[in-house]
Structure 1
Amino acid sequence: MRIIVVGWIDAVDAAWYRNQETCPFCFDWSFVKQWVIDTIDWSDPDNPAIRINASGTDMTDNVTMAAQAGSKSPEPARPQITRHDHVALLARVRAALERPDSLDAAARATLTGAIGASESGLRVCALPWPIDMHLGIIEHRHGVNFYAGLNRDVLVAEMAEYAREWWKEIGDRRDPNTLPDDEVLAAYFNDHPSESYSTEILRLEPLPAVRSVSSIESGAYCVLSTAHLTVQTAGLLDKWACWPPSDRPIDIAASVYGWFVPTRPLPDDRRAQIPDDLQEIIAFGRDRGFQFLLLDCDADRAADLPVHDW
């Protein structure tokens, strides 16, 4: 929901300036509440959207908004690796260890890169390539049993153990321990109509993309950790958020996620009231083309900004 709501920032901003034409530092946050009531279609609570008018355009005069602006930057998909690829990589590593002089600098760099890519993939996802899970269900008078195996033989062997345990119920005089698993399974359920079993194959896929630990959520806004602020500055933001909009040195808003801070340049008199750490964060966002910052205690940290102890 946060991704959707912050995506409306451009639309609200444009509506305010279009209708009020007042100083941005006097922004009236009650306007946002009324804008949401008048403009947002909540017919689908899980996917609220700006209403479309009769002409087929949205209620914000085609202001770019929303999911596109508020979504996370797309990440490159991790190349699909197979078991064969991994085995081949291990063979290359073994050959390099056995004959280290056979590799020139370029070949060594290529091999090192391949090892690093494999290492990164395994760090992010314990499943490096697709695998087929064989699943089974046995329904009986006491409930349901679930089974899983990495191949059909393992699955059938597990399910056959159930059939052997209750073998006497079908009146078959053969010793189930001397019969193959497939035969035990078939014979038991053929002669036990009140119970049944089924199997299916579920393919498990690795994660489609690797997300860098240092990546930050961004769009028209940028989400940064509050660790880039000092405790004193955080206290000021809490205090300013309670003031009337016209009295604040900067036009901020508090939310359940953190503080929204605009990155637009400030007049000299207002900038003099802003602590250096907050000015640095604002400049960071403005230099990268963001209109707003959301300072969130759970957000990621940017490598280019200092971190403060709380």
Structure 2
Amino acid sequence: MIRPSKRDFAQLFSRARMILQHPEGCSHETRLRLIDDLARAEGLFHAHDVPWDIDVHIARVDHRAGTNINAALSQRSLMAQLAAYCCDSWSELNDKRDYATRDDEEIVRIYFSEHPSERLSTMCITLAGSDSDAGPPPRVRLYLTISTGHVRPSTGDLLDIWSSLIPEQRPLGVAETGYGWFVLCDPLDDADIKLIPAELVAAITYARDRGCRYLLLDRDADEVGGLEAFDW
């Protein structure tokens, strides 16, 4: 088992069970190979929490109050989570059909195809186990998208200036997108906070409190409750 998968371990345990059940039917060499494979598997379990690749199924639901992230170890479990969310909000649809008679996937499909504003996106990522050549797992970071109307036009001018500077000269990480700015939400030093307008600090804090590493200020995005809004 050079690159063990979950199936490899299952087959190993099946071999061990068969030999224990019918020891008279296996040779000495077969038993030695089994002992060697079991010892190797034991070492992997001691060295790693999970010594095989794991698929993680992820869903993102964008709605008027923000973003929900769901994760599960199977597509079926993920659909069950999403279906529960859809059933709780079914009254927002102009659909009189009884969702209780439908399976999870159909509930999810109907809800997000008919809802006027909510959007669903899904993906599956593989977390590499031991002895895998896949390299380190991808670094996934979340960002929050809100309207540029949550900062003053003068703050927008500052963001344009800061995005043109080298990173060492900026009070915060920022990049201009053509339709707004992408802002890093890491905690700021006291000296840097004094240079940043209060409404931008509030927006950064709003994003960070919701588990986001980045804030996207976009002219086409919606305004959100809890933040001040400004005319442009």
TM-score, length-normalised on structure 2? 0.52
Partner of 1:84: 7
- Distance in 1 between the 2:31 and 2:110 partners? 58
Seen in structure 2, the aligned counterparts of structure 1 residues 168 and 99 have a Cα distance that, compared at 3 Å, is same
1:124 aligns with 2:47: yes
Q: CA deviation at 1:104?
A: 4.2
Contact 1:159 1:185 in 2 (8 A): yes
Partner of 1:169: 92
- Distance in 1 between the 2:79 and 2:107 partners? 10
**Structure 2, unpaired ranges of 5+:** 133-232
Q: CA deviation at 1:182?
A: 2.0
Deviations 1:276-306 (A, max 9, x none): xxxxxxxxxxxxxxxxxxxxxxxxxxxxxxx
- Distance in 1 between the 2:95 and 2:72 partners? 28
Q: CA deviation at 1:134?
A: 1.1
- SS state of the match for residue 11, structure 2? helix
Deviations 1:52-72 (A, max 9, x none): xxxxxxxxxxxxxxxxxxxxx
Seen in structure 2, the aligned counterparts of structure 1 residues 176 and 110 have a Cα distance that, compared at 3 Å, is same
- SS state of the match for residue 69, structure 2? strand
Partner of 2:36: 113
- Distance in 2 between the 1:143 and 1:202 partners? 23
1:185 aligns with 2:92: no
Partner of 2:81: 158
What code does the residue aligned with 2:121 have? S
Contact 2:52 2:130 in 1 (8 A): no
Deviations 1:234-260 (A, max 9, x none): xxxxxxxxxxxxxxxxxxxxxxxxxxx
1:147 aligns with 2:70: yes
1:202 aligns with 2:131: no
- SS state of the match for residue 67, structure 2? strand
What code does the residue aligned with 1:136 have? A
- SS state of the match for residue 84, structure 2? helix
What code does the residue aligned with 2:20 have? L
Root-mean-square deviation (CA, aligned residues, Å) is 2.0
- Distance in 2 between the 1:99 and 1:154 partners? 38
Deviations 1:65-92 (A, max 9, x none): xxxxxxxxxxxxx821123321221121
Among 79, 90, 98, the alignment partner of 2:21 is 98
Partner of 1:295: none
- Distance in 1 between the 2:25 and 2:115 partners? 65
Q: CA deviation at 1:103?
A: 4.1
- Distance in 2 between the 1:106 and 1:150 partners? 38
- SS state of the match for residue 203, structure 1? strand
Larger radius of gyration: 1
- SS state of the match for residue 121, structure 2? strand
Q: How does 1:285-300 map to 2 (within 5 A)?
A: none
What code does the residue aligned with 1:141 have? R
- SS state of the match for residue 34, structure 2? helix
**Runs of 4+ residues deviating >6 angstroms:** none
- Distance in 1 between the 2:73 and 2:25 partners? 39
- Distance in 1 between the 2:60 and 2:76 partners? 15
Q: CA deviation at 1:176?
A: 1.4
**Structure 1, unpaired ranges of 5+:** 1-77, 210-310
TM-score, length-normalised on structure 1? 0.40
Number of residue pairs the alignment of both structures matches: 132
Q: CA deviation at 1:108?
A: 2.3
- Distance in 1 between the 2:27 and 2:83 partners? 55
- Distance in 2 between the 1:146 and 1:116 partners? 40
